[in-house]
Chain A
Amino acid sequence: MPSEDFNKIIHAPNRLQICSLLAPLDDAEFQFLRDSMSVSDSVLSKHIKQLEEAGYVKQRKENLDGRQRTWVFLTNSGRSAFSGHVKALKSIVAI
């Protein structure tokens, strides 16, 4: 069960959006994340890299129709950290 921990890495607006978009899914394409967040490729890449370094997300590449597609997904520790962060936010609001 995830602990109720406020997570500074996840809380940054763009990273919070990435985790929120990935939470109800198994994985999502890079392009979907970029379009949903209305950010540039480089901004999204930077934030995904930071989450990846924390061990919260992973990427996998796939070749389709000669194009490389990147899929991003939350790891178990990422899911747990995100869930704990949401609990912490809810408890702050409840104070």
Chain B
Amino acid sequence: MTITKNDKINTDDATKALNTIMQMERTSLQQSMPPIWFGVLMALAMGILIFTIAAGLRDYYVFPIIAIPLILAIRSKKTQVSPKTISLGVTGKTALFSLIVTFLALIAGGRFFMEVYKLTWSPIVAGIIAATLVYLLSVGERRDHLKKINGE
């Protein structure tokens, strides 16, 4: 047993404490990992939002707009934790900006093909692409969480 420089605890105690910390941090990370249903519901809501805007269905915008904060609230209530918010760096800001631009392009594209070429299914395709993007993002977030939990 090594007496430490501050004579308060030995290496065994310190190792035990570090193990406890790791175990508890894993518990929190597991709890804050976005559930699969959350990714699916967010993807559905975003897909429907992009579809309704692209199709010009103004009376229906409100439903996905109400659904998104509701889904976030249900997640917070169910998981009992709020994941740590990170301040966005340049890469994060660029990624967010690109995502917004992609959504706007999907809306514009869906509307353009519907109005100019009379392709009535184009807003549906735009909605499906948006939903797929959101779902893939949620899968990526789950993967990041799993990496942290496994200490990679």
Bound pair (A, B): yes
Taking the complex as formed, is A28 at the interface, i.e. its CB lies under 8 A from any CB of chain B? yes
Binary CB contact string for chain B from 1 to 29 against chain A (1 if under 8 A, 0 otherwise)? 01011101111001101101111110111
Which of A11-19, A42-50, A51-59 lies on the face that meets chain B? A11-19
Contacts of A6 in B (CB 8 A): 6, 8-9
Taking the complex as formed, is B82 at the interface, i.e. its CB lies under 8 A from any CB of chain A? yes
B151 to chain A, nearest CB (A): 12
Q: Is the CB of B81 within 8 A of A27?
A: yes
State A17–B14 Cα separation when bound (angstroms): 14
Given contacts A25-B32, A25-B83, A64-B77, contact A11 B20 (CB under 8 A): no
Dominant SS among interface residues on chain A: helix
Query: Which B residues have a C-beta under 8 Å from some C-beta of A?
Result: 2, 4-6, 8-11, 14-15, 17-18, 20-25, 27-29, 31-32, 77, 80-85, 148
Q: How large is the interface on A (under 10, 10 to 19, 20 to 34, 35 or more residues)?
A: 20 to 34
Q: Is the CB of B14 within 8 A of A28?
A: no
State A25–B111 Cα separation when bound (angstroms): 41
Given contacts A25-B81, A27-B82, contact A92 B11 (CB under 8 A): yes
Contacts of B81 in A (CB 8 A): 25, 27-29, 32
Q: Quick one: which of B17, B23, B27, B85 has the most chain A CB within 10 A?
A: B17
Taking the complex as formed, is A75 at the interface, i.e. its CB lies under 8 A from any CB of chain B? no
Q: Is the CB of B17 within 8 A of A89?
A: yes
State A71–B81 Cα separation when bound (angstroms): 8
Contacts of B10 in A (CB 8 A): 92
* Interface residues in A46-95 (C-beta closer than 8 Å to B): 64, 71, 86, 88-90, 92-93, 95
